[in-house]
Amino acid sequence: MSDRKNVALRLGVLAFVSVLVQIAGVAQIHVFGVGFDLAPLVVAAAGFLTGALSGALFGFGVGLFLDLAYVQTLGVFALVFCLVGYTAGRVRELRAPEAPFTPLALGAAATAVASCGYAVLEVILGVTSPVSLQLVRDILVGIALNSLIAVPVYSIVRRWLIPALPEDPRRRRRRAYTTGGLSPLSRP
């Protein structure tokens, strides 16, 4: 099987399993009146690992699946998660951060963008829900809760996708220098 088909298959399985786990289990757990939200974490991790285009497509698919599963306005989650996946992929393409706190910051940012984006789209579409300080509190608590589970979710997604992803040339170059390879500056 080619690399692209293998990555697409793994992303499809990841989308299906993550949405089922979100709906059947994780959404039922509430802390401080707010539930955990696995979807932005998985979309951001997949986008970060696979790139902007794959992240946007994966986010759109997961969002559409969630819209259908929750029987709500079609396309709201799809649009928001498309943005989350694309942005996470662009961060990887432009900056390639290797810091240990990257999954934590990625999870917090993805949850913030998803929560705020969903709230803004619902208000724009005319859903009659009250906008109050309770909504702001729920968004902030949701960001904090998702930040707690961001690192394990990123690790699981990474472990699932890395065997199908091609070797990153930036990683190979750095490895040569740290394993005793000569620096280009020290050559005669």
pLDDT tens-digit series, residues 139-152: 888 899 888 889 99
Amino acid at 73: T
Inter-CA distances, 160 with 6, 11, 15, 128, Å: 11, 9, 12, 40
The 10s digit of each residue's pLDDT in 154-167 is 999 999 988 888 77
Report the CATH fold assignment for 18-165. Arp2/3 complex 21 kDa subunit ARPC3 (1.10.1760)
Residues of the chain above pLDDT 70, percent: 85
Contact 74, 68 (CB under 8 A): yes
Helix or strand run (H / E) with residue 34: strand 34-35
Question: What pTM was computed for the model?
Answer: 0.82
Asked if the model's pLDDT at residue 169 lies above 70, the reply is: no
Q: Six-digit token pair at 134? A: 């309770």
Provide the 3-class DSSP secondary structure of residue 131. coil
* 3 state DSSP class of 36: coil
How high is the pLDDT of residue 97?
A: 73
Judge contact between 49 and 158, C-beta under 8 A. yes
What is the pLDDT, as a whole number, of residue 181? 55
Q: Is 147 left (phi over 0), alpha (psi -120 to 50) or beta?
A: alpha
Compute CA 85 distance to the chain's CA centroid, rounded to the nearest angstrom. Answer: 6
Confidence check: pLDDT of 92 > 50: yes
Domain boundary assignment for the chain = 18-165
What is the pLDDT averaged over residues 175-179? 50
Of 188 and 94, the one with more pLDDT? 94
Mean pLDDT (whole number) for 66-93 = 90
pLDDT digits (tens, 9 = 90+) for 38-56: 899 999 999 999 889 999 9
Q: Report the C-alpha gap between 42 and 37 in whole angstroms.
A: 9
